[in-house]
Amino acid sequence: MNKEIMYDIKGMTCAACVIAVEKAALKTPGVLESNVSLPTEQLRVVVDMSFDESKLYKNITLTGYKASAIDNSETLSEKQNKKLKNMRIKIVLALLFMIPLLYVSMGHMIGLILPSMVDPMANPFGFALIQLLLTVPVMIIGYKYYVNGFKNLFRGNPNMDTLVAIGTSAAFLYGVYALVMIGLGNHEFADILYFEVSATILVLVMIGKYMEQLSTTKTTSELEKLMDLKPKTALLFTGDTYVETPLEQIKINDELMIRPGDVVPTDGIIIDGTTSIDESMMTGEPIPKDKTLNDEIIGGTVNITGAILMKVTHVGDDTVLSSIIKRVSEAQMKKAPIQKLADKISGVFVPIVLVLALLGFIVWMIATRDFDFSMNILVSVLVIACPCALGLATPTAIMTASGAAAKHGILIASGEALEISSKATMVVFDKTGTITVGKPTLLKVISLTETKEDKLLQIAASLEQQSNHPIAKSIITASEEKGYQLSKVDNFENFTGLGIKGKIGETTYLIGNEKLMLENKIKLGQIKTITKDYSKKGISALYLANETELIGILAISDQLKDGVIETVKKLNELGVKTAILSGDDINTVTHIANEVGVDEFYGSLLPQDKQNIIKTLKEKYIVMMVGDGINDAIALKEANIGVSLSSGTDVAMSAGDVVLMRSDIKDIITLIDLSKHTVRNIQENLFWAFIYNVIGIPIALGLLTLFGGPLLNPMIAALAMSFSSVSVVLNALRLKRYKGVKQWKLKSTV
């Protein structure tokens, strides 16, 4: 029988690391499936009976990483925050050395005064030596970039760390060479030191990595929030009393007391009592479900009204909530369908540059036997091919675009999310809280007698004032908005699943569903035709009666959010398909879908049903899922891109790759539009970063000297490299001017 095992992995920094660990795991006998999550730094393997854990540890160690059993002594958030703290400390320490380094290396160029012992004119050797001494600590602080960069290079998987390691090493080693030459009396080398290039690149990369980790930390806590839904204890019925018992000691067939307001500790069935259960964490629907004898209840849901006794049917990993937690964890491990273009370029670019630099050095040594000339060629090639521009191409565009998105109320967790958004071919919406407001609203009061509608509303609100049911709250809210004074209710009775009975003055009233009316011998007659029509439109109907006859109907429904219909039409204009997934009944979903105009719709879904539908849709489309509830968390993770609303649950917000802070559905259009602008900007950046190398490397190799032209000085090479970086940054900053699409208009349908 196959089983799933999780491990902590230490030492990963990038996608290449993830690939290396996955390949190492798959080489282990018995490993059938391997998935690594860089944000959580965990490995998930599916193994059979032949699995040998010691061989897995060995294979991963040989790859350069460390695997260990899951450490539960710290929460994921605590681990992530500790990592952030360490990164902050390293950045501060590196800045303490980089700032004086920049002062020494460049201060004299802008008229700053340097002590004579480090003045380039008075003491060129001291000038070079102090730069070396200030650069080395920065390189030590950033040693992991060299370890990971060169390690991946030697394994044939060069990445951005490899580019950083090679570029800064080239500048540093040439600086060491220049220092030696200065010591030998060649003082002109004091003008071509590149120590500050190494330090500056390292610090900028550290800051970029910190920002990336900061975003990652905010998006990896949904599992902990789901786990927090589980209470730690339960009230166990021992036959004559109730004992508060740790949840892990609860067994199947145990009987538990659930009081009003309690979170249901595990899955089971009701064996005594009636109540209403808030299942919004499972279904996303705001209206509690009435429960009575033999009805199933789910762990993590909330008991609203009555005290009940339940019999446990599932515990531990077999519960519905545990299943959701497992599915979210698995979805989090799965790979995004897109690869960074910069990584693809660097995978080819780095070895080519190395080979060209070495070949240039060897060829010119053979041709001229001039070491200085050949060394100039080697360093010029490496310096002009410094990865600064290539490394800045993607993150600068992403950071600028993320800032522009934030101004429009859109929080984007990663560059990957921003990139995928531009390619979405289907947008799938949750219904309640996403397409609709998510709160029951009183639409209409219909009088069936001479009693006026305002009076009927006042009576209904008075009866409902002792109930905390969402429908009751909607009636009371409507009454408060009109300023009605509620009446005193005597002989109040609450019939769970049916409605309410109470006496106002000398008259007894009933308010509830059809069953309550029939039990009290209230005839409905032709009025049932109206309520059936309401049901088809997704509208709930409450009957209001006195002791002898039906006197009114209250129509209650969840309303569409502003801009939903316009957003769906705009998506259709853009060629993007749309769908609705909902836990609500199919009649209600059908009505909403027809009103909104989506292409597909599905109702009566559980969380895992939503996930399975998303999986199927992904076979044909690049899917963007938009939701706001815990029940949407799995689907948000399963989709190519998950978009959550800030008005939803914390878990849904964390599970989403993008959060719409204004909970304005129209911001989906802004997200897609900004994403397309950003991807285009990244492509332009990569072009500028790469074109300088395409032009500069042949010149650095001495091409012009063959035709009587000058040899490229490393200083000019560094200037060209810097210019390419400036070009990339300036191009990325254009995204700051992004104005959004707030005023977008639909094309005429005439």
CA–CA separation, 223 and 79 (whole Å): 14
Helix (H, G, I), strand (E, B) or coil at 340: coil
Helix (H, G, I), strand (E, B) or coil at 570: helix
Helix axes 124-141, 195-218, angle to 10 degrees: 20
Annotated catalytic, 430? Answer: yes
DSSP label of 748: P
How many angstroms separate the Cα of 570 from the Cα of each of 387, 439, 596, 623, 643? 41, 26, 12, 17, 18
CA–CA separation, 284 and 603 (whole Å): 12
Residues 6+ apart with CB under 8 A from 489: 462, 463, 465, 466, 502, 503, 504
Phi/psi for 625 (5° steps) reads: -105, 130
CA–CA separation, 17 and 32 (whole Å): 20
Residues 6+ apart with CB under 8 A from 405: 411, 412, 418, 670, 671, 674
Q: How far is CA 365 from the centre of its chain?
A: 53
Q: What is the CA radius of gyration of the chain?
A: 33
Phi/psi for 449 (5° steps) reads: -135, -165
Helix (H) or strand (E) holding 543: strand 540-546
Helix (H, G, I), strand (E, B) or coil at 11: coil
CA–CA separation, 377 and 473 (whole Å): 79
Cα dihedral 310, 311, 315, 318 sign? negative
CA–CA separation, 615 and 599 (whole Å): 17
For residue 57, what are its two tokens?
């540890």
Helix (H, G, I), strand (E, B) or coil at 234: strand
Helix axes 124-141, 143-154, angle to 10 degrees: 70
Helix axes 667-700, 341-368, angle to 10 degrees: 10
Choose, from 267, 430, 632, 667, the residue flagged as catalytic. 430
Q: 366-375 burial, b for 16+ CB within 10 Å, e for fewer?
A: eeeeeeebbb
How many angstroms separate the Cα of 354 from the Cα of each of 195, 227, 377, 378, 698? 20, 50, 12, 9, 13
Q: Do 467 and 494 touch, CB atoms closer than 8 A?
A: yes
Q: What is the 3-state secondary structure (H, E, C) of 462-515?
A: HHHCCCCCHHHHHHHHHHHHCCCCCCCCEEEEEECCCEEEEEECCEEEEEECHH
* Residues facing residue 436 across a β-bridge: 560
Q: Which residues are catalytic?
A: 430
